[in-house]
Amino acid sequence: MNGALLLALRLVHILAGTFWVGGVFIAGLFILPAVRAVGPAAMPVMQHIMLRRRLAVYLPISAVLSVLAGVILYGRNMSLTAGAWGRSPMGMGMTFGAASAILALVFGMGVSAPAAKKLASAAGPGGLPLSDDVRARLTRRAAVGSTGSMLFLAIATVAMAIARYL
């Protein structure tokens, strides 16, 4: 792998990961709690953020790009060292961080994103009206997925940031 490709993969991994982590934390700590507090009146804002500003598209894309670039970089390190890097303290730290990031991806794409997208779609013109019970359930599901994603992303970020120093 040449130096330019290696640099490009690192940039994609870091920049997409930064957007992913920041977006999940902003959504989980500020947007979703505000939507829960305000109730149905907040649905147009949620719809605008998720559908018109396309956060529901950009977050999963950045997550997948970050994970894919990370997998390629991880595989490169493993192949260059015949697997020895994975048994080193740095490799184990990166492995732990990678596993945490993959769990965050599962929580985000499997739990939080579908619920948030349904909430946003229902708020729009022509959207099916949601009962208060269904809206509350979807909001809770989005919050649980967001909390899981935040937890695993925090672990991944810390693990990858300190892995070099283990």
The most confident of the ranges 34-38, 71-75, 127-131 is 71-75
Q: Is the pLDDT of residue 88 over 80?
A: yes
Q: Is the pLDDT of residue 83 over 80?
A: yes
Close Cβ partners of 107 (under 8 Å, ≥ 6 residues apart):
145, 146, 148, 149, 152
The CB density around residue 1, as the number of other CB atoms within 10 Å, is 11
Tokens found for residue 133: 């019970």
CA gap 20, 47 in Å, rounded: 19
- pLDDT given at position 128: 67
> DSSP letters of 39-61?
GGGGHHHHHIIIIIS-HHHHHHH
Q: Is the pLDDT of residue 13 over 90?
A: yes
Burial (Cβ within 10 Å: 0-12, 13-18, ≥19) of residue 36: middle
Of 145 and 104, the one with more pLDDT? 104
Average pLDDT over residues 9-30: 94
Residue that the structure tokens 């739990």 belong to: 111
Average model confidence (pLDDT) across the chain = 88
- pLDDT given at position 44: 81
